[in-house]
Amino acid sequence: MNIETFRNYCLSKKLVTENFPFDEVTLVFKVSEKMFALAGLESKPTTVNLKCDPTRAIELREMHPEINPGYHMSKIHWNTVNIEGNLSNEFIQTLIDDSYNLVVAGISKKKRQALGLDR
Q: How many domains does the chain have?
A: 1
CATH code of the domain containing 31 = 3.90.1150.30
Per the structure, the complete domain to which residue 109 belongs is given by 3-115
Stretches where the chain sits below pLDDT 50 are none
Q: CA of 70: how far to CAs of 6, 22, 49, 115, in Å?
A: 17, 16, 6, 29
pLDDT in tens, 56-70: 999 999 999 999 998
Q: What is this structure's pTM? A: 0.93
DSSP letter for each residue of 12-75: TSTTEEEE-SS-TTEEEEEETTEEEEEEETT-SS-EEEEE--HHHHHHHHHH-TTEEEPTTS-T
DSSP letter for each residue of 70-90: PTTS-TTTEEEEETTSS--HH
